[in-house]
A and B are shown apart, each in its own frame.
Chain A
Amino acid sequence: MKNHMLTLKLVLGLMLLQVPELSHASEQGQKLYQEKCTACHSISDNSNISLSQRLQEKAPTLYYAGNKFNAAWLEQWLAAPKRLRPGGHFFLNKVKVTDDGDLIDETKLVNHMTVQPKEAKQITQYLMLQTPKADLIALEQVTLGKVNRTLGEKDFNKFKGCGSCHQDEDGYGGVSGPELYTAISRLKPNFIASYIRHPEKWDPKTLMPNRHLNDNSIKKLVNYLNVISE
């Protein structure tokens, strides 16, 4: 009994210590964000953004980062980023017209800045607090499952036309959207479903069309992303 009380006190004590440390980390993260990231990114409300404003943005919005990214992925990526959009953000500024059709001018793609692992942790704490549009997330109830890979691929490319703009394998697929072969480790499953259902509700001037897919179609697509996930 005494032992239990002791453990309880210890746990409580640790929790008390933990809380201020957490908020301290996110405050540090906010400071770092303002110093290092605001030159390109925005975390303010994008609901009334105009097309020309959207096209001028230098980087994707982080307005709803906390509802979009898996924290573990974010922390790891910020310290060691890899390209997500094969055509950059925004692809149009990187197009060169050639005799073989339009191509992405690779020389115009830049590598994302890196931060120290400790900073990545703090920034992640801060970004994960950005959770607007929670009502959209609440509409989804994804549990990840399986799908036949061949059928899933056909569905993704041929029937739903996702592969026109997205890669489902490194080097294979469209280049105007972010690659989706790491989508499951990168993004929250409910966000993926919600974004497929109504991309314009997340990002009013998104370049992705709303294909009016039903629950079952969305589930199949999410499961395909699960099966191919790296």
Chain B
Amino acid sequence: MKTFSFIVLLSTLFAITEAYATDTKNGEILYQAYCTQCHGLNGDGWGVNAASMDVLPKDHTDTKGMVTRTDEDIFIAIKKGGKAVSKSNLMPNWDANMTDQEINDLVAYVRLLCCEKEK
């Protein structure tokens, strides 16, 4: 009986982490589709739209700048827009266009871009 409940507990835990697990591959696809138009194909802030913007899109490959942001900061910036993190309104809010899960995948991908580059 004890082992049984242990297994149940374990598999529930597993299911939970599974549900919250972020998918950087999916994050990359989302990033390419929605974000590269401003942040650039390489995430360096020089997307095709950047030339005509008054505030330059954040360089997501800038490790020094980006490590100071928590995952929460990045999540809020994407979901609610730049204004919600005291940045430019030119960074749009994406809450109506994607799910929280998708935003989490994006956060994971932005992290990979900025701070976990393979050496």
Residues of B in contact with A, size category: 20 to 34
Chain A residue numbers with a CB within 8 Å of B53 are 163-164, 174
Minimal beta-carbon separation of B88 from chain A (angstroms)? 8
Partner of A174, one of B36, B52, B95: B52
Partner of B33, one of A161, A173, A198, A207: A207
Q: Say yes or no: is B38 at the interface (Cβ < 8 Å to chain A).
A: yes
Partner of B48, one of A51, A91, A200: A91
Beta-carbon contact of B97 and A200 below 8 Å = yes
Q: Say yes or no: is B75 at the interface (Cβ < 8 Å to chain A).
A: no
Selected interface stretch from B5-13, B14-22, B39-47, B108-116: B39-47
Complex interface bits, A22-56 against B, C-beta within 8 A gives 1, otherwise 0 = 00000000000000000000000000000110010
Beta-carbon contact of B89 and A97 below 8 Å = no
Minimal beta-carbon separation of B25 from chain A (angstroms)? 12
In whole angstroms, how far apart are the Cα atoms of A158 and B53 in the complex? 9
The answer to whether A92 and B32 touch (CB under 8 A), given A102-B41, A163-B52, A165-B37, is yes
Beta-carbon contact of A207 and B52 below 8 Å = no
Beta-carbon contact of A175 and B96 below 8 Å = no
Beta-carbon contact of B54 and A212 below 8 Å = no
Instruction: Please name 5 pairs of A and B residues whose Cβ atoms are closer than 8 Å in the assembled complex, sorted by A.
Output: A91-B48, A102-B48, A164-B52, A173-B52, A209-B94
Chain A residues packing against B (C-beta within 8 Å): 51-52, 55, 87, 91-92, 95, 97, 100-104, 157-159, 161, 163-165, 172-176, 198-200, 205-207, 209-212
